[in-house]
Amino acid sequence: MNVLIPEEAIRERVSEIAAAVNADFHGRTFTVVGILTGSLVFLADLVRRLEHRHQIGLLEASSYRGTATTPGTLVLNTGLLPEVRGRHILLLDDILDTGATLSQVTAHLVELGAASVKTCVLLRKIGRQTVPFEPDYVGFAIPDKFVVGYGLDFNDDYRHLPFIGVLPDDTSV
C-alpha cells in the first residue's frame, strides 16, 4: 500500500488543529460531534489535545456501503447525539469528498437548535466536491484517490492503520 500521509505528519497536524480549536473556542464550552465511524480515531486524538471543557457526541452519517468506493444516498442516525440546542458544536468528519454529508449534517444540527456549528475534516479530497461547503478546519488536501487508514475503511477494514494510504487496485492487500 502506498503511504500518502505518514503517522508523524498526522500527529503534528492534529496538534495544530487542536491549537486552532483551543484559540477559537476559548472561554466557551462546546460539544465535539464525530461522524461515525471514520472520525473515531481523529476524534480520540483531537479531544486529548483540547484544553477547554467539552462534551462528546456521535452520529452516524453514511453514504458508502460495503465495498462501494463512490457515495450513494446519505443515511443519518442521530440516536447517539446529545442535546445540541443552545450548544456550540465542533463537527468532525474524516473526509470531505462531495460535500453532501457535511452540508446536510451541519444543516441538521442548526435545525436542532445548535448555537453555532464549526466543521473540521481530517482530509479534503481535491476535485470531488459537488456541493459548495467550506470547512472551518482542514487537516490535509489530498488527490482524488480512495484512501484508507487512521479510521477510514474499505469494507470495514484498514481503519487500524496509523497512516493514510492509497488503496491499491487489488484490494486483497
3-state secondary structure of 164: strand
Sheet holding 54-62, edge to edge: 75-77, 54-62, 30-36, 88-96, 116-125, 137-142
Burial tier of 143 (Cβ tally within 10 Å: 0-12, 13-18, 19+): exposed
DSSP secondary structure letter of residue 139: E
> Beta strands 116-125 and 30-36: pairing type?
unpaired
* Cα separation values, 111 from 86, 92, 117, Å: 11, 18, 11
Residue 97 known to be catalytic: yes
3-state secondary structure of 48: coil
**Which is the catalytic residue, given 24, 93, 97, 157?**
97
C-beta neighbour count of 138 within 10 angstroms? 16
Active site residues: 97
